[in-house]
Amino acid sequence: MSLPIRNVAIIAHVDHGKTTLVDELLKQSGTFRENEEVPDCVMDSNDLERERGITILSKNTAVRHHGTLINIVDTPGHADFGGEVERVLGMVDGCLLIVDANEGPMPQTRFVLKKALEKGLRPIIFVNKIDRARQDPNIAVDKVLDLFIELGADDDQCDFPYLFGSGLGGYAKETPEDESDNMEPLFSAILRHVPPPVGDPEKPLQLQVTTLDYSDYLGRIVIGRVHNGTIRAGQQAALVKDDGKIVKTKITKLMGFEGLKRVEIEEAAAGNLIAVSGFGDANIGETITDPNDPQALPLIKVDEPTLQMTFMVNDSPFAGKEGKMVTSRQVRDRLMRELETNVALRVEETDSPDRFSVSGRGELHLGILIETMRREGYEFQVSQPQVIFREVNGQPCEPFETLALDVPDAAVGACIEKLGTRKAEMQNMEANGMGRTQLEFVVAARALIGFRGEFIRMTRGEGIMNHSFLDYRAMVGEIESRYNGVIIAFEEGTATYYSLQNAEDRGSFFITPGTKVYKGMIIGEHNRPQDLDLNICKSKQLTNHRASGGEELVQLKAPEEMSLERALEYIGPGELLEITPESIRLRKLAKKKMARR
């Protein structure tokens, strides 16, 4: 007899503690041996997820508790990966919404909760981080209830169960005053409030593809939920494509989830979450079904991209010096391989064989792809990110975002002023009485390109900024995002201390003495709106006379750090970002000064 099943997704705003909580559920369910060394955020499996402290891809795991198999799906919290959340909610029968006791519901909380309520799920609320809250955690519950009502939840959904606890501390409790040192109250709440899966194992097979994975050994792997019927390894099955076409094939391998591993199984009945290989051209939303009685489930709609960039072969004077994969064929093959698993991405070939149009959900989404390729040894260039415009009822429209800022009181005026110049509309302003203020805006997505760096400077690194896609609205006209020109290297060579020191009053630099530069490379930001060409390789002329005071050590101003995200936000029209495994360089598209006019 098969085990009783519960399927639950863990949803929350970014950095509210989802992955840490899953770590504790895995540990306390006996998934790991007593002497097994387990890293923090064990579900964040790739290097970028660990470095950035964010979940990029949704992941499945399963734990056993009191004879019940609990399938858990850990979802991303960042708005750029919202499409992942939307899809996996169709695999589960309940969800655990995690809210930070101090911050309360945030923009992405609204997005994921709205999707969960639309699916008819009744969330369990877990108020996390109560061990470091600066205020009453019950206030967070009240704010969540307000959000439920605002999103049109029915009476049953508004009567949600809630618990308090700490994922890091490893405990959950029904009231803040209770004593607890484990997650047993949370396990009990999941078993009590998440309904068992509905599905008939006797009906014809229906499995919907919700996530894609890829293995060099097995090829494309599809992950989904068996809605009806029973699926067996080696059986014949049919794939109903999104255009209605039916492709018959054989299921080569069937895998279930056990802890962090995929384990090979012989069969799975309705309600199970499984991974299947044998469907090389399956896509998100398509249905694996009985070949004798093919019945498709309603298609899942994948979020459309909102941002577009051009990827191109590196043609700078330093091309090919630092990367291994530099040709257009290698870049093209890598982008096409990314499409195997990254369903929110679009790649289109252009008129030029060495340029590719790549569209994604946001700067972070595309930035993750660029950083991954760079670490794999690829060398290429990208253009300025551009928002994707659409026509709605014959009128040109652009994507708008909900922007939430949490800033020190002293920075409120500067933030409102700066966003006013970017044509943002303020929706709400709330001071918490402890030196910080929450601001809410509706703003065009293109107005946010380049804003993060300014925001960090205005708040001296103390501000918190979050945004999520709202909808498409009428265009707001021209938005000026960069007010200063750039400083451009005048010739190829090595930057000298002498030249940088003499030019310090012209602006701020992105480079240090000893940096190799070439003609047309952007090396700093000018103090004025115009671009400035500068000879940065000039060295001090030596004479046989020692100047008075010439031996004094003069410190240069610290250069402005250009991380990948900062550089993507910074580049403007007619500028490119050169990406290599070792360097990130900004440059002008045209190398000659006359050609840039």
From the annotation, which residues make up the binding site for GTP?
Answer: 15-20, 128-131
CA distances from 282 to 59, 103, 237, 261 (A): 19, 40, 12, 23
Element (H, E) at 127: strand 124-128
Cα–Cα distance for residue pair 169/183, rounded to 1 Å: 10
Length of the chain in terms of residues written = 597
Residue 502 phi/psi, 5-degree rounding, is: -70, -25
**How many CB atoms are located within 10 Å of the residue 421 CB?**
12
**How many CB atoms are located within 10 Å of the residue 163 CB?**
21
Cα–Cα distance for residue pair 463/411, rounded to 1 Å: 9
Q: Residues 55, 56, 57, 58: is their CA dihedral positive or negative? A: positive
Cα–Cα distance for residue pair 488/532, rounded to 1 Å: 6
Quick one: 572 exposed, middle or buried, by C-beta within 10 A (0-12, 13-18, 19+)? Answer: middle
Contact criterion met (CB below 8 Å) for 304 and 330: no
What secondary structure, in 3-state letters, does 212-264 show? EEEECCCEEEEEEEEEECEEECCCEEEEECCCCCEEEEECCEEEEEEECEEEE
Nearest alpha-carbon partner for 109 in 467, 361, 399: 467
Contacts (Cβ under 8 Å, ≥6 apart) of 106: 13, 16, 100, 404, 466
Contact criterion met (CB below 8 Å) for 377 and 579: no
Contact criterion met (CB below 8 Å) for 331 and 325: yes
- The token duo for 448 is 């946010």
Cα–Cα distance for residue pair 97/110, rounded to 1 Å: 11
CA 113 to chain centre: 18
Q: Is 498 helix (H, G, I), strand (E, B) or coil?
A: helix
Beta bridge partners of 222: 212, 276
Contact criterion met (CB below 8 Å) for 71 and 93: no
Residue 269 phi/psi, 5-degree rounding, is: -100, 175
Cα–Cα distance for residue pair 194/188, rounded to 1 Å: 10
Rounded to 10 deg, the angle between the 184-193 and 18-28 helix axes is 100
Annotated binding site: 15-20, 128-131
Beta bridge partners of 398: 473
Cα–Cα distance for residue pair 402/424, rounded to 1 Å: 10
Cα–Cα distance for residue pair 295/535, rounded to 1 Å: 69
Cα–Cα distance for residue pair 164/569, rounded to 1 Å: 39
Torsion, Cα of 476, 477, 483, 489 (10° steps): 120
Contact criterion met (CB below 8 Å) for 130 and 170: no
